[in-house]
């Protein structure tokens, strides 16, 4: 069964945005790769910005669900969840389709804090921080908000360095820093 043209358009746009960026990826390229007519875009989204928002929404849902499932699968016990998070990141960074974080790219390309694309990127980062806080609470961290904030910085730092340099070992190094942080309490 063929995916709906709308879903096909979002999937294609997301793949191209992740690879090449949001502004650099033209509508004609997306339409050609998706094999859909321009009317499909305008009937379903009305604009490129609306397509970007739909792509980011899909990526947000998929990435948080994936990260949650991967972390759960890699953690033998609740107290292992924070460190398992870095193992999940390591798998993501090692993947052939890793082109960095699309939300970081979006926030950089749409840097006006009032822009809907920037706000969508920020909302995703809020969900990521909330997930990390849940892991800190499940681990019994004495100050889950503080620990979550510090782990979040390690996660984001590892992601940015992997994106900028292509060094896929950043998650493992960030995990070592997280181990030290957790050992220090």
Mean pLDDT, consecutive 10-residue segments, the chain of 185 residues? 80 96 96 93 94 98 97 94 97 93 96 97 98 96 95 98 94 96 87
**Position 90 in a domain:** yes
In the numeric block, which tokens belong to residue 144?
A: 């889950």
Q: For position 3, what pLDDT does the model report?
A: 61
Packed helices 170-184 and 144-165: angle between N→C axes, nearest 10 degrees: 160
Contact 70, 35 (CB under 8 A): no
Query: What dihedral angle (degrees, nearest 10) is formed by the CA atoms of 34, 39, 40, 45?
Result: 110
Look at residue 1 and tell me if it is in a domain. Answer: no
Taking the model in full, what pTM does it have? 0.93
Backbone phi, psi, residue 16, to 5°: -70, -40
Q: Is 39 part of any domain?
A: no
Q: What are the residues whose beta carbons fall under 8 Å from the beta carbon of 96, sequence distance 6 or more? A: none
The answer to whether residue 117 sits within a structural domain is yes
- What one-character DSSP code corresponds to residue 21? -
Q: What is the CATH number of the domain that holds 173?
A: 1.10.357.10
Examine residue 12 and state whether it is found in any structural domain, yes or no: no
**How many structural domains is the chain composed of?**
1
On whether residue 22 sits in a domain, the answer given is no
Long-range residue pairs from 159-168, CB within 8 A, at least 24 positions apart, any chain: 159/89, 159/93, 159/100, 159/101, 159/104, 160/100, 160/101, 160/104, 162/93, 162/98, 162/100, 163/99, 163/100, 163/101, 163/104, 164/100, 168/90, 168/93, 168/94, 168/98
How far, in Å, CA of 57 to CA of 31, rounded? 19
Range of the domain at 148: 55-184
- For residue 5, tell me if it sits in a domain: no
CB 181 within 8 A of CB 151: yes
Please tell me the chain's helix, strand, coil percentages from 3-state DSSP, rounded to the nearest 5. 75, 0, 25
Do the domain assignments include residue 24? no
Q: What is the pLDDT of residue 2?
A: 52
- Note whether 13 and 57 are within 8 A (CB): no
């Amino acid at each position: 069964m063929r995916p709906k043209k709308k879903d096909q358009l979002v999937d294609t746009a997301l793949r191209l945005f992740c690879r090449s960026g949001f502004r650099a990826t033209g509508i004609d390229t997306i339409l050609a790769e998706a094999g859909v007519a321009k009317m499909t875009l305008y009937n379903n989204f009305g604009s490129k910005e609306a397509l970007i928002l739909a792509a980011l929404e899909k990526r947000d849902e998929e990435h948080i669900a994936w990260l949650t499932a991967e972390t759960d699968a890699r953690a033998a016990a609740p107290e292992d969840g924070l460190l398992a998070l870095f193992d999940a990141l390591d798998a993501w960074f090692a993947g052939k389709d890793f082109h960095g974080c699309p939300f970081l790219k979006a926030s950089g390309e749409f840097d006006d804090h009032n822009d809907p694309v920037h706000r969508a990127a920020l909302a995703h980062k809020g969900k990521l921080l909330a997930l990390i806080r849940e892991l800190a609470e499940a681990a019994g961290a004495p100050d889950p908000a503080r620990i979550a904030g510090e782990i979040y910085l390690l996660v984001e730092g590892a992601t940015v360095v992997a994106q900028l340099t292509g060094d896929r070992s950043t998650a493992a190094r960030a995990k070592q820093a997280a181990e030290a942080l957790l050992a220090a309490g």
